[in-house]
Amino acid sequence: MEAIAINQLIRSVFHLLKITFAIGAIVVAA
């Protein structure tokens, strides 16, 4: 269970990181 939770946490952080880069590029360019 803990391993699954940690895996989900890592996935969520990775997802947020990706979105931050993409939206950051939009905000700075706009």
Q: Which residues bind other proteins (CB under 8 A)?
A: 14, 17-19, 21-26, 28-30
**Cα(5)–Cα(10) distance, integer angstroms:** 9
- Quickly list H helices, the chain: 2-29
Cβ 2 to other proteins shortest distance, Å: 25
Going 20 to 22 to 25 to 30, the CA torsion angle's sign is negative
Q: Closer to other proteins at the Cβ: 10 or 19?
A: 19
Q: How far is the CB of 9 from other proteins (least distance, A)?
A: 17
Q: Cβ closer to other proteins: 2 or 13?
A: 13
